[in-house]
Homo-oligomer: A and B are copies of this chain.
């Protein structure tokens, strides 16, 4: 009895390579391949895969959002997030989105097959080192607005531009920025953006 797989990754070359690799295994069958997050659900409804392998960085809809929709609309399909970056926040958000597995592209190929087979047995599969890092990063101490401001600041704009895009006064933006800088332990905006981003707080 073969395990039916859906593969979502925006890099065609990587997706095809991964597809061939997995198809070589006797118990795997890649039944759908998509290159955009917003095509995931449609393909899953059509092909009813057992496991969906989702990259995070994708156009249209990111893999985490796609996982959330998938968990809701196609409950029979287990989600394994497969990503380049073993960033702490990604893991937490993946779990919150209903994923049951999390594999980094740095892992050896057997680890992927292994993970797929184990989630089919009902297990949750996560790299232990990454799990520790995630716990260490902890919950975000940022308020919703501080988060918004940091996201807007990521683009590199001035306080005036951030204020404009969020319809806030400049003083308010400076206040939130100040709070975010304090909470992240950084010494300026750039540092705060980097820290918060790394920890997955954005």
Give A contacts to B, CB under 8 Å: 10-14, 16-18, 20-21, 24, 82, 84, 103-109, 111-112, 155-158, 186-191, 193-194
Known: A20-B20, A21-B20. A106 touches B156 (CB 8 A): no
State whether B190 touches A156 (Cβ < 8 A): yes
Q: How far is the CA of A107 from the CA of B15 in the complex (A)?
A: 10
**Set B17, B158, B191: member contacting A20, Cβ < 8 A:** B17
Whether A13 and B112, one on each chain, are in contact in the complex, defined by CB atoms closer than 8 angstroms, is: yes
| 13 A–B pairs (Cβ distance < 8 Å), ordered by A | A12-B106, A12-B107, A12-B108, A13-B18, A13-B103, A13-B105, A14-B14, A14-B17, A16-B21, A16-B108, A20-B20, A155-B194, A156-B193
Do the beta carbons of A194 and B105 come within 8 Å of each other? no
Q: How far is the CA of A17 from the CA of B106 in the complex (A)?
A: 12
Nearest to A161 among chain B residues (CB) is B187
Chain B residues within an 8 Å CB radius of A193: 156
Least CB separation from A23: chain B residue: B20
* Closest CB pairs A-B (n = 10): A156-B190, A17-B17, A11-B105, A156-B191, A16-B109, A17-B21, A13-B105, A17-B18, A20-B21, A12-B108
Q: Tell me, rounded to whole Å, the shortest Cβ–Cβ distance linking A191 to chain B.
A: 4
Bound-state CA distance A16–B106 (Å) is 10
Known A17-B21, A20-B20, A156-B186; 10 more pairs at CB < 8 Å: A11-B106, A12-B105, A12-B109, A13-B103, A13-B108, A14-B14, A14-B18, A17-B17, A17-B18, A158-B188
